[in-house]
Structure 1
Amino acid sequence: MRLNAYESSRLYKEKVKAYHDKKLLKKEFRPGQQVLLFNSRLKFFPGKLKSKWSGPFTIKEVRPYRAVELFDPQSETPDRTWIVNGQRLKLYHGGNIERLTTILQLQDP
C-alpha cells in the first residue's frame, strides 16, 4: 500500500509540473528594448506600498543563459552597465511611471 502511495504521488507531481511548465511564457529580449527591473531586496526597507519595479533601463546586450546587460539612459555615466538575470526583467511599454504619494487623515468616529 505504501509503494502505491509513493507511485501515485510521483505521477501526480509529474502531471502538475508538466501543467505549470506549459503555462510558462518565454521572454525574448533584444538590444535596444526598454525593460523594468524587479528589486527583490526591497523587503528589507519599510513601506509596504513601495514599487518593486525600477527603471526603465535599456538593454545593451543579451548574453547566453538569459543573462542581460543593462544600462540607464538617464544616468550621468552612459558607460556604466551591469548584468542581471533575465527572469528579473519585464518589458516596459512606455508611459510615465507615477509615484503617487497620498496622505490620508484618519479621524476617530
Structure 2
Amino acid sequence: MSPFRLVYGKACHLPVEVKHKAYWIVKECNLGLREAEIERKLQLQELECLRLEACENSRLYKERVKAMHDKNIKRREFRVGDLVLLYNSRLRSRWKGPYRVEKVEPYGVFHLSHPSSPNFFKVNGHRLKLYHVLISSSA
C-alpha cells in the first residue's frame, strides 16, 4: 500500500512521464526483493510516526484554541423569575423581550417564557442580558 493511499484513502494515478521516471529510479536503485521489503517497512513506520505526531499537534492546538475561547466567555448568572432580553441578530432591533427565566440548567442553558405565552424555549446564556425595569417615582 502506498503512502498516498494511506493518507488519502485512494490510489494515486500518475501521468505517463512520471511513471517512466519512477521506473527509471527503481532500475537505478536496483534493490533486491528483500531489501525493498525492509525499505518499505521502514517507510511505513516513518509514515505512522508522522501521522501520530500530526494528531498530537492537532490535539494540542485544539486545547490552546479552546482555552483562549473559554477565557473570553463572560459567564451570565440569572435566577428563576428574572426578566431578560434576548439577542437576535436577524431582527433590526436586536434585543427582544422581556422574557422570564423559568428554569436554569447547567452549562449556561436557560428556559425562557414570554409573559403573554405559556410556552417556553431553551436559549444559550450568552444571548441574554438582564432587563432593568425603570420605576418612576410620582410624588
Question: What TM-score results when the alignment is normalised by the length of structure 1?
Answer: 0.53
Query: Does residue 82 of the first structure (1) align with residue 120 of the second (2)?
Result: yes
Contact 2:81 2:100 in 1 (8 A): yes
Higher relative contact order (CA 8 A, sep 6+): 1
* 3-state DSSP of counterpart to 1:68: strand
1:26 is aligned to: 75
> Match of 1:13, SS?
helix
More helix by share: 2
State how far apart, in whole Å, the 2-side matches of 1:7 and 1:86 are.
32
> CA 1:16 to 1:28, structure 2 compared with 1: closer, same or farther past 3 Å?
same
For residue 132 of structure 2, what is the amino acid of its counterpart? Answer: H
1:64 aligned onto 2:105: yes
The letter for the 2-side match of 1:25 is K
79, 85, 94: which one pairs with 1:52?
Answer: 94
1 or 2, which has the higher strand percentage? 1
Letter paired with 2:121:
I
The one-letter code matched in structure 1 to 2:79 is: R
Partners in 2 of 1:28 and 1:89 — Cα distance?
10
Figure out how many residues of one structure are paired with residues of the other and give that number: 82
Identity over aligned pairs, percent: 43
Q: Structure 1 residue runs of 4+, over 6 Å off?
A: none
C-alpha separation in 2, matches of 1:32 and 1:6: 47
CA contact (8 A) 1:71 1:81 kept: yes
Structure 2 length-normalised TM: 0.44
d(CA) in 2 for partners of 1:64, 1:91: 17
Give 1:94 deviation, angstroms.
4.3
* Structure-2 change in CA distance of 1:29 and 1:2 (3 Å): same
- Hey, what does 1:9 align to over in structure 2? 58
Alignment correspondent of 1:93: 132
Structure with max Cα Rg: 2
